[in-house]
Structure 1
Amino acid sequence: MIQVDKLQKKYKGKVALDIADVTIKKQEIIGLVGNNGAGKTTFLSLVLDLIQPTEGGVFLKDKNVAVHEDWKQYTGSFLDDTFLIPFMTSYEYLEFISKLHGWKKGDLEEFLEENKQFYGDDFLSGKKMIKDLSKGNKNKTGILGAMIGSLDLLILDEPFANLDPTSQQWLRIKIQKLAEQGVTVIVSSHDLQHVTGISSRIIMLEEGVIIKDVANTENTLVELESYFGAKIQEQTN
């Protein structure tokens, strides 16, 4: 599904990301973890062709994302609210995204009905523009938009942030259902409990380098908490 080949990104000569080789298979749920500045968002931005690599490339279904655009038809993503259109309402934005994917109005209504537990009754009926929404409702709008279309790949950066507990649980279940239906998912999150609760595989970045790439097991959360706890001790000593 995803092949990373000698991928490197530098800013003003400083290496922000350096990944020699990674393969992500269809239906995997990848939990991407690491401290701020570890390279998580840089990696996701390279996968989505939002920035250009200094060296190497990212290949989706054997095609370089920087050269081909086929991947845009089957990839949904939400990294932050810059993906949104601030002077639209949530419904207008989702309608806009659905039209880009060739959906009819009935398709969107069916999608919203299917996922209505994720948002409140007044979320889509209100006239409030996205720029005036709470951070949580902005995230809900972006996450729903990322799920529109015929997905093979879903990429979410900090999707659990600013969501209430019910919405967080809904999202966890939804991601796992999508994977069961054949979707590959990459979730970057600081919330170790959520990310280990849904992922089949954990990739940890530190200073732009992968330092751990393992199958998620019942011991993974404890191992991650121990690792980051040790980091706190290092900083205080």
Structure 2
Amino acid sequence: MNITIDHLKKNFGPKIAVDIDSYTINSGDMLGLVGNNGAGKTTLFRLMLDLLKADEGNVCIGDINVSKSEEWKNITGAFIDDGFLIDYLTPEEYFYFVGKMFGLKKEVVDERVAKFERFMNGEVIGQKKLIRNYSAGNKQKVGIISAMLHEPQVLILDEPFNFLDPSSQSIIKHILKNYNEETGATVLISSHNLNHTVDICPRIALLENGIIIRDIDNKDNSAEKELEDYFNVE
């Protein structure tokens, strides 16, 4: 499922948060969005998910304008921060709740959650406690798993490596890469961590002051030096 951005603008007072004239993310792309704090990464994702109203322009997922229809939500999974979670539920209750929204039976939810067994590392399921009482890392795991439960054609994850230990970071990198390759889903991730992004994303967009200043082909990890030079100069 392709994503098209057309004359998209969002300001917060005098600050330009996003200003993208035209940009297309092709169906099946695995795109890494990188940039310094305040570059506009999260704002762009929030505009894509119709969580913020654009000042101008639009985002289309497939041929659906996200601000004019809800249809795109059936094929999209996202996790931006733990505000997405219902923290007075247990992870199991939350997974079933998300599954129910997408018409998945409990057995199907159980099967799909089980695929994340290594990622959960025995710390998420069966703990008999509410999400609010979990560590930031385990909340992050619940969010990522819930975003992928319905096997979306578009997956958007903001800083998915945040709060995770190195082992969990390595596992989720494999999961995301395999998911993209096996399903052909369009996967978008933002990250401060250049190494993780370069490792798994064949395409990288560099955002500065809300503008995509570089669109880098990273098919052979060639982006690493270019990005390091950019961030070291800053």
> Which category of TM-score, normalised to the shorter sequence, fits these structures?
over 0.9
Tell whether 2:165 aligns with 1:190.
no
Separation in 1, partners of 2:185, 2:217? 18
Tell whether 2:215 aligns with 1:225.
no
* Alignment TM-score, normalising by the size of structure 2: 0.96
Q: Quick check: 1:73–1:150 contact (8 Å CA) kept in 2?
A: no
**Structure 2 letter corresponding to 1:38:** A
1:204 maps to which residue? 206
Separation in 2, partners of 1:219, 1:152? 27
Question: Deviations for 1:94-132, whole angstroms, at most 9, x for unmatched residues?
Answer: 111011111101101111222211112242101221111
Shift of residue 2, structure 1, vs aligned partner: 0.3
1:1-237 equivalences in 2 (<5 Å): 1-180=2-181, 181-216=183-218, 217-231=220-234
Let me know the Cα RMSD of the aligned residues. 1.0
Shift of residue 219, structure 1, vs aligned partner: 2.5
Q: Quick check: 2:202–2:221 contact (8 Å CA) kept in 1?
A: no
Shift of residue 13, structure 1, vs aligned partner: 4.2
Shift of residue 218, structure 1, vs aligned partner: 2.7
SS in 2 for 1:186: strand
Question: Deviations for 1:125-172, whole angstroms, at most 9, x for unmatched residues?
Answer: 012211111000000000000001141000001101111222111111
Q: Quick check: 1:74–1:152 contact (8 Å CA) kept in 2?
A: yes
Q: Matched residues, percent identical? A: 44
Shift of residue 212, structure 1, vs aligned partner: 0.6
SS in 1 for 2:113: helix
* Alignment TM-score, normalising by the size of structure 1: 0.95
SS in 1 for 2:92: helix
Separation in 2, partners of 1:203, 1:164? 25
SS in 2 for 1:126: coil
SS in 2 for 1:59: strand
SS in 2 for 1:87: coil
Aligned length: 231
SS in 1 for 2:112: helix
SS in 1 for 2:143: helix
* Segment of structure 1 superposing worse, 161-170 or 193-202: 161-170
SS in 2 for 1:5: strand
Q: What 5-or-longer segments of structure 1 have no aligned partner? A: 232-237
SS in 1 for 2:77: strand
Question: Deviations for 1:4-52, whole angstroms, at most 9, x for unmatched residues?
Answer: 0000001224321100000011111000000010000010000000001
Q: What 5-or-longer segments of structure 2 have no aligned partner? A: none
Separation in 2, partners of 1:218, 1:104? 40
